[in-house]
A = this chain, B = another copy of it.
């Protein structure tokens, strides 16, 4: 059982972009280099993330992408629902799946699997991008990004 690599990289792209200081841009090349995948593949992913309003693009020579909402407002479950092409837990979940298995009209496996999938997504709905990037300095170091300034305690 697995999520698609597409979803996997979409989440990683959001982590990368979220670790940049607010408003600063990341290029597709930087993100694809960091995760060692093709620029073309990352371009497709970023275009979908932009179409769904998770990131926004700034055009031009010094352009790039940045989050279009605060990390606290980006729910992991919502990202997965956007990027995962199909939630075909079993054959009967496909659009034409009912025809594929003769059990479908009376099957109780299907609702059990649907309930399990719902429990899976419900956990991911409890996490935002802000939760995921909490080890901010460690993650930035792993991605060779400039380290965020440590929190300053005043008073």
Considering only CB atoms and an 8 Å cut-off, how many residues of chain A contact the other chain? 50
A87 and B49 CA atoms in complex are apart in Å by 26
Asked if A151 CB lies within 8 Å of chain B CBs, one says: no
Least CB distance from A100 to B in Å reads 9
- Residue of B112, B124, B142 touching A124 (CB-CB under 8 A): B112
Task: Annotate A66-109 by CB proximity to B: 1 below 8 A, 0 otherwise.
Answer: 00000000001000000010111111010000000111011111
With A1-B2, A1-B84, A2-B86 known to touch, is A115 a contact of B123 (CB < 8 Å)? yes
A3 within 8 A of B: yes
C-alpha spacing A106/B133, complex, angstroms? 9
> Is A51 in contact with chain B by the CB < 8 A criterion?
no
CB distance from A74 to the nearest CB of B (A): 12
Q: Are A103 and B2 in contact (CB under 8 A)?
A: no
Footprint of B on A, CB under 8 Å? 1-5, 7-8, 11-12, 15, 34-35, 76, 84, 86-91, 93, 101-103, 105-109, 112-113, 115-117, 119-124, 127, 131-135, 138-139, 142-143
